[in-house]
Structures are given as C-alpha cells and as structure tokens.
C-alpha cells in the first residue's frame, strides 16, 4: 500500500461486510479507479456487484497526478497504443459528467489542455523531435515561441527554450474521482467487502472461476470475477502461471504543493517539462493544489519517499516555474504503478471461464479508467468491445 505523508482523507462509508459464502453476479478484486469504474458500470447494467478490497481507493489511484495526456505518452516504438489512448481520452468528458450527475460530486475535470516546455536548447531538440514524431502519427500540437508560452502561462520562467501546446489534453482530480466512484458504487447498491483476497477459487475442473478466497479462509462466490488489484494482481494465488498477469510495481514519487495567499496557483494548464534531459510535470487543481510528479523506479513493492526523489522533482519544477518556491508543501508520497513488460495494459478475458483481468495500466490508469470499465462490461454483457486495450 502506498505510504502517504500528510493529510489523507478517508471519507469512505463502509456499507457492508456481510461475511459468509455470499454470492453475486460480479465480484471485483481491487477497488482502485479501475475496479471501482468496472463495478459501477456493471451495477448500472443491473448486475449485483461486490468489491473486495481492504482499503478501496487508496492504491496508485489515490497517489496519481490525474493527467489525461495520451499524446505525451506516445513514445517511439509504442505508437500502436495511441489509438486506444485517444479513445480513452475521448470517453472522459461524458464519463466525468455521468460520475458527477450520479453523485453530485465534482471531480475537477480540466479542459485547458497541456503545454510541453523545453528548458534548454538540448531539451528543445528533444521536444521538437517528439513533436515531429507526433505529427507523423497525425496528432496536432502547436509549436509555441517562448513569448507565446509565457503569454499562456505567465509564471513560466523566461529562461526556457520553447514549447508546444496540446489542446486536447485533460486532467482530473483523481482523489475526487476515487471518492465520487466510491459514492457512486454505494448509491447503486454495490457491496464493499473490506477483506484482502488471497486467491481466486476455480471449480474442480480448473477451467472456471467460482469466486474468491479471503485471507481468513472464508470465500465468496460469483458468476464472474474481475481481477483488478493493480500492481498486486500478480500476487493473487490460485491461477495457473500462464494466466497470472505479468505486472510489476513501478514506483513513482510525487509531491503536492498548496497555493497560499502570497503565491496563488501559478498554472492554468498541465505543464510537462523536459529539464536538462529530466522529465517533470505539474498539474494544477482549481482548489489551489499543484501536483508535481513523478519518478519512475523499479524497486519492488517499496513506497518510501526519498530525499533524492523529491529533490529531483523540486529542482526541475523550480527551474520552469520559479514561483513554486513560495508554495507550501502539502504532501509527499509514493505509489506503485502496475507496469507490464511492454507498457501495454492487460484488459480482457482469460482462458478461465468467468475470469477477466483489468490491470497493467502503468502510467495511464486514470486515463484508461472509463475505457477499461466499458471494455470489461462489454465483455461481461457479451457485446463486442469497442476497443482492445
């Protein structure tokens, strides 16, 4: 579980933990953004749904920055992912509206786009190369002069080398999202079982999922089981080796600053900066929070926050937005992205009847939340999914 310093709001109301061998249509293992969105959609489709998670909503989905920026995730050799990422982005506005309509809770969707900034001329060469690559994929991004960058974002340092405006990008307050999804599930009668799942239970043939077994030996049955336990999905027992999803933890350290009376929120758009070859992003919230992320470290299930990790973020962020030096530190945290060997998500059916998997979303799990929920529910309902992640 992520270690979080600072304030951690847990407004979750525990609706139920009726133990025993209860049964439901659908059982979702893991109540992160992915599991919560799947469960909610299924409940709206009229299914009886149970989410099993000892601490729903407080995995990677809580720690994340909430950038919804597929273009900046399109890397060389990974461009085959782009159509799916764009489909995910396209599903966001209506999804956000539905979540807010169902719960009355706003989730801070921002539509100002994002701005990519190069700090020095070497960085400029690198960002230009990416812009040309993106153009070759048919994506539009507008090259900006330094003056144009600073007209859009006046708190940007004059000491930058140039930028690019990406108009379609969005961002969301992922914590508000998680809280709204928890509420939406509650309102639809989804049951929360706050226990840790130790294994998926198969029938005697081993070809069909029956339900799950908890740490305490108790079990719950369901027609369909969805394994959506983020980076911990590979630790759930009971599955043949070839079905276990190849996810591993990729640690990210992230920082939340707060605007003060002396230093208001310095940004209106998400800022993605390349600073002397090092990547940093700053995501503004309307509540005055500025999220600065994130390191990428392969260090197993460790979630310690290190001086060096936070320093790198602050060093790079302060070079592009000097004014952040005046903001207050709200929180320093680290989370574990569910990473896969090829950076593509694992979403769909398995060779075991009644078992679906939705994990491996890596850096983009918030972006993929609505699309993955839709794909999984299309599969549950026997509809052809609109896209494969």
Partner 1 sequence: MSDGLKTDPLVIAGREYSSRLIMGTGGVDNFDLLSRALIASGTQLTTVAMRRVNATAGVSVLDVLRDLKIDVLPNTAGCYTAAEAILTAQLAREALETDWVKLEVIADERTLLPEPIELVTAAEALIKDGFTVLPYTNDDPILARRLEHVGCAAVMPLGAPIGSGMGIRNPHNISLIVEGAGVPVVLDAGIGTASEAAQAMELGCSAVLLASAVTRAKDPIAMATAMRLAVESGRLAAGAGRIPVREFGVASSPTQGRATL
Ligand X SMILES: Cc1cc2nc3c(=O)[nH]c(=O)nc-3n(C[C@H](O)[C@H](O)[C@H](O)COP(=O)(O)OP(=O)(O)OC[C@H]3O[C@@H](n4cnc5c(N)ncnc54)[C@H](O)[C@@H]3O)c2cc1C
Near ligand X by CB under 6 A, which window of 48-56, 106-114, 322-330, 377-385?
48-56
Complex with partner 1: residue 39 or 274, whichever CB lies closer: 274
Contact 213, 196 (CB under 8 A): no
**Nearest to ligand X of 20, 104 (CB atom):** 20
DSSP 208-252: BEEEEEETTS-EEEEEEEEE--GGGGGG-BSS-TTTS---EEEEE
Q: Which does 379 bind (CB under 5 to 8 A by kind): ligand X, partner 1, none?
A: none
Query: CB 90: neighbour CB atoms within 10 A?
Result: 14
- Out of ligand X, partner 1, none, what residue 298 binds, judged by CB under 5 to 8 A for its kind, is partner 1
Task: Compute the distance between CA of residue 158 and CA of residue 7 in angstroms, rounded to an integer.
Answer: 34
Cβ proximity to partner 1: between 266 and 293 the closer is 293
Please list every residue from 319 through 338 that binds ligand X, using CB under 6 A: 335, 337-338
| C-alpha 170, offset from chain centre | 13
Q: Does 297 bind ligand X (CB under 6 A)?
A: no
Nearest residue (CB) to ligand X, 132 versus 329: 329
Instruction: Please say which residue, 165 or 332, places its beta carbon nearer to ligand X.
Output: 332
Q: Is 222 in the site for ligand X (CB under 6 A)?
A: no
Q: Shortest approach of ligand X to residue 147 CB, angstroms?
A: 28
- The contact set with partner 1 (CB under 8 A) reads 75-78, 133, 234, 246, 248-250, 276-277, 296-302, 339, 341-343
Q: Does 303 bind ligand X (CB under 6 A)?
A: no
Beta strands 278-284; 270-275: pairing state: antiparallel
Per DSSP, 322 falls in state G
Q: Which of residues 196-215 bind ligand X (CB under 6 A)?
A: 196-197
Q: How far is the CB of 261 from ligand X (least distance, A)?
A: 28
Report which of 268, 324, 283 is spatially closest to residue 66, judged by C-alpha positions.
Answer: 283
Q: Is 30 in the site for ligand X (CB under 6 A)?
A: yes
Facing residues of 291 across strands? 256, 283
Whether the Cβ atoms of residue 40 and residue 185 lie closer than 8 Å to each other: yes
Q: Which stretch binds ligand X (CB under 6 A): 223-231, 304-312, 317-325, 380-388?
A: 223-231
Could you say whether residue 312 binds ligand X (CB under 6 A)? no
Interaction of residue 229 with ligand X, rule CB under 6 A: yes
Contacts 24+ apart (CB under 8 A), 304-312: 304/3, 304/334, 305/3, 305/5, 305/253, 305/332, 305/333, 305/334, 306/253, 309/253, 309/334, 310/253, 310/255, 312/278, 312/280
Cis ω on the peptide bond leading into residue 309 (within 30° of 0)? no
* Phi, psi of 153, deg, nearest 5: -130, 85
Interface with ligand X (CB under 6 A), residue total 43
Of 161 and 371, nearer to ligand X (C-beta) is 371
* Interaction pattern, residues 159-198, with ligand X; x per rule: CB under 6 A: -------------------------------------xx-
Q: Measured from the CB atom, is 275 or 291 closer to ligand X?
A: 291
Round to whole Å and give the CA distance between 202 and 184.
30
Which candidate, 305, 242, 359, 320, places its Cα nearest to that of 3?
305
Q: Is 79 helix (H, G, I), strand (E, B) or coil?
A: helix
Q: Which residues bind ligand X (CB under 6 A)?
A: 29-35, 52-56, 58-61, 63-67, 196-197, 228-230, 232, 236, 252, 254, 293-294, 335, 337-338, 359, 361-367
């Amino acid at each position: 579980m992520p270690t979080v310093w600072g304030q951690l709001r847990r407004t979750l109301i525990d609706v139920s933990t009726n133990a025993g061998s209860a049964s439901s249509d659908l059982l979702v293992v893991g109540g992160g953004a992915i599991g919560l969105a799947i469960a909610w959609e299924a409940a709206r489709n009229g299914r009886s749904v149970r989410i099993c998670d000892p601490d729903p909503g407080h995995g990677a989905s809580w720690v994340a920055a909430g950038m919804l920026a597929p273009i900046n995730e399109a890397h060389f050799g990974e461009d085959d992912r782009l159509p799916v990422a764009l489909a995910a982005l396209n599903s966001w506005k209506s999804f956000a509206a539905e979540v807010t309509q169902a719960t009355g809770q706003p989730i801070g969707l921002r539509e100002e786009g994002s701005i990519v900034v190069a700090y020095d001329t070497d960085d400029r060469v690198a960002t230009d190369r990416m812009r040309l690559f993106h153009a070759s994929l048919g994506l539009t991004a507008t090259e900006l002069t330094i003056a144009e960058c600073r007209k859009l974002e006046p708190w940007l340092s004059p000491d930058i080398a140039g930028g690019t405006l990406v108009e379609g990008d969005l961002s969301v307050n992922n914590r508000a999202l998680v809280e709204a999804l928890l509420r939406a599930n509650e309102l639809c009668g989804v049951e929360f079982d706050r226990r840790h799942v130790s294994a998926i239970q198969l029938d005697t043939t081993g070809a069909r999922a029956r339900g799950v077994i908890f740490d305490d030996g108790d079990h719950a049955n369901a027609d369909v089981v969805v394994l959506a336990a983020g980076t911990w999905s590979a630790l759930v027992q009971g599955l043949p080796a070839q079905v276990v999803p190849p996810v591993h933890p990729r640690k990210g350290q992230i920082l939340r600053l707060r605007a003060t009376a002396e230093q208001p929120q310095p940004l209106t758009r998400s800022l993605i900066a390349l600073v002397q070859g090092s990547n940093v992003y700053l995501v503004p919230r309307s509540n005055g929070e500025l999220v600065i992320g994130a390191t990428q470290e392969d260090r197993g299930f460790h979630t310690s926050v290190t001086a060096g990790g936070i320093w790198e973020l602050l060093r790079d962020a302060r070079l592009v937005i000097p004014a952040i030096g005046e903001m207050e530190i709200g929180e320093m945290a680290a989370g574990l992205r569910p990473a896969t060997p090829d950076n593509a998500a694992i979403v769909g059916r398995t060779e075991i009847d009644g078992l679906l998997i939705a994990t491996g979303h890596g850096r983009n799990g918030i972006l993929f939340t609505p699309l993955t929920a839709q794909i999984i529910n299309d599969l549950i309902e026997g509809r052809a999914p609109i896209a494969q992640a």
